Amino acid sequence: MTMTPTQALQAYCDAFASGDITTIASLFAPDAVVDLPLVGDRMKGHDEVMHEVESAVRGLKDIRVQIGHAIEGENDVIAEGAFWSELVGAGTKVDGTPERADFRFVAVLEMKDGRITRLSEYLDTKPVKPWERQRIIPTSVRRSPYWDGSIAAGAVEFMAYNRTTFPMIYSRTPYEDYVALTQRVTMWDVGCERQAQIKGPDALAFANYLVARDISKLAVGACRYSFVCDPDGQILCDPVILRPWEDTIWLSHGDVDLHLWARGLATNSGYDVEICEPDVAPLQIQGPLCVEMLRPIVDGSVDDLKFYRCMVTKVAGIEAVVSRTGWSGALGFEIYPTSSARAMELWDALLEAGRPHGLVVTGPNVHRAVEKNVTDTAYFTNSDMNPFEAGGERLVDLDKGDFVGRDALLKIRGEGAKRQTVGLFIEGDLPRLEWFWPLTDGAGKEGTVRWAMHSFALDRSVGIALVDAAVKVGDKVEVHHPLGTVKAEVTTLPFVED
């Protein structure tokens, strides 16, 4: 039996609320168009509509839709209604209440031959996406050179990272960002990701003295991931090391004053090096379509750039180093313009290049990172930890000769690490992790949950914790987060392999 427009609208709303994608797909005509202010541009065609619908349905839960006034024409209906839902994976507010997407709307639905050909919703997204940009405490935090681009793209929450603004959250549901990263391509403003530049005849030798891994044979155009430790063997940061030029090493590092540390160590050391933090503010292009996106605007072949290799090139005519690295644990590139003078020109060119591939400007996707056990180590994030406790033994070469922290790390290895990094399956929904959560294992020993997120791949809460070395996979522990104490089970890392 052919549905009336009102029946079709009701069927759409019911199916949306119950997550019945199959029914929704059956309602739309092949050439249907949908206007939804929460998504942006008009969606054209069945595939595009269903891609967005699926993303919306998976990103929300406890959905209710109620149609009030509905007035029908011959082949259309205009209706007023209300929508209630809870965001998946957004954590809760400080008081424990969930992040919600509730709004009233007017929907206009047109039909032809029993299928929906047009669905337009009118609503004010301002209360639904209320996270207007928060004020940044001025002067102590410098703006990334891509600030204007991030703001225009809807950045609403920032970290102060290396004393630089770091846009983390944009006005979308977490799942929309996750889909963009895992299925299309994303661009991140990581201008906060600073380079400690070591330049001079002894650049490689001095860098090798700074880091725990043997990089003495690092070739020009190669990259490595390693730890920088203090003399006690504690991790200062875990930089990506690049050698873009013969006499230049960049340690692309996390939230730590690495160039000051390096400069201090180099002073009167006898190494012939100059150390600075150059005006190099990177962007990350991450996601499966990144090669297609970058191919037309990068001089040289991004197809041939192997994992953990870099090249000096031009991107949209702008001098840059491009490396096949990133924080997504999957295919991606980092672009390091050699100056910020043309930063927004580069940003705009990348936006334009990404448009045909559905590029979305996002922050680093912590949901995906935790799934893949891609973390970040700095003064405070994961502080008070040595590489063996961090699960990074393969990144330490104790036989390479002298380096900062070697004696301490030799002792730690000899005695055995007292703690270990493990995965956790955590019960229930989680608040946002704003600082480490205490953990108690079955033997009553304390640990800390250092990362915690909703995993969209596993559809459950997961975490990464530092626990006693005696804890085993399958052990039950208790996590004490701001909303209470919940049970968790110890598991292996990463949570997701591919």
Partner 1 sequence: MTPQDAIALHNAAYESRDAGALLDALAPGCLYEMPLLRSRMVGRHEIAEGLRLAFAATSACILEISRTRQSGETALAEGVMTAELAREKTSATVPFAMVVESGEGGINRISLYLDAKPFRLWADGPVMAMAG
Q: Which of residues 60-99 bind partner 1 (CB under 8 A)?
A: 69, 71-73, 76-80
76 vs 475 by CB, closer to partner 1: 76
- Give yes or no for residue 125 binding partner 1 (CB under 8 A): yes
Write the single-letter amino acid at 251.
Answer: L
Residue with tokens 């006690």: 232
Neighbours of 489 (CB within 10 A): 14
Distance between CA atoms of 228 and 403, rounded to whole angstroms?
10
Q: Please pick, from the candidates 44, 93, 112, 126, the single residue that binds partner 1 as defined by CB under 8 A.
A: 126
Compare residues 152 and 159 and give the one whose CB is closer to partner 1. 152
Stretch that binds partner 1, among 8-16, 119-127, 226-234, 248-256 (CB under 8 A): 119-127
Listed ranges 127-135, 335-343, 374-382, 397-405: which one lies at the site for partner 1 (CB under 8 A): 127-135
Strands, E assignment, 204-337: 223-225, 228-229, 235-237, 240-245, 248-252, 274-276, 283-286, 310-315, 318-323, 332-337
CB of 81 to partner 1, least distance (A): 11
- Choose, by CB under 8 A, the member of 123, 136, 330, 483 that binds partner 1: 123
The reply to whether 106 sits near partner 1 by the rule CB under 8 A is yes
DSSP secondary structure of 290-328:
HHHHHTTTBSS-STT--TTBEEEEEETTEEEEEES--SS
How far apart CA 459 and CA 123 sit, in angstroms, is: 29
Closer residue to partner 1 in complex, CB, 362/420: 362
DSSP 51: H
280 vs 360, beta carbon nearer partner 1: 360
171 binds partner 1 per the rule CB under 8 A: yes
| Residues 9/109, Cβ–Cβ less than 8 Å | yes
Count the site residues for partner 1 by CB under 8 A: 26
Q: According to CB under 8 A, which residues from 7 to 46 bind partner 1?
A: 35, 37
Binding of partner 1 by 157 (CB under 8 A)? no
Q: Which of 287, 415, 453, 402 is nearest to 354 (CA)?
A: 287
User: Residue 104, interface with partner 1 (CB under 8 A)?
Assistant: yes
Burial class of residue 26 in the structure, from the number of CB atoms within 10 Å of its CB (0-12 exposed, 13-18 middle, 19+ buried):
exposed
Per DSSP, the three-state class of 397 is: coil
| Near partner 1 by CB under 8 A: residue from 120, 338, 383, 440 | 120
Spatial distance between the Cα atoms of 150 and 139, rounded to a whole number of angstroms: 19
Least Cβ distance, residue 125 to partner 1 (angstroms)? 4
Residue 4 found at the interface with partner 1 (CB under 8 A): no
Chain residues in the site for partner 1 (CB under 8 A): 35, 37, 69, 71-73, 76-80, 104-106, 108, 120, 122-126, 129, 132-133, 151, 171
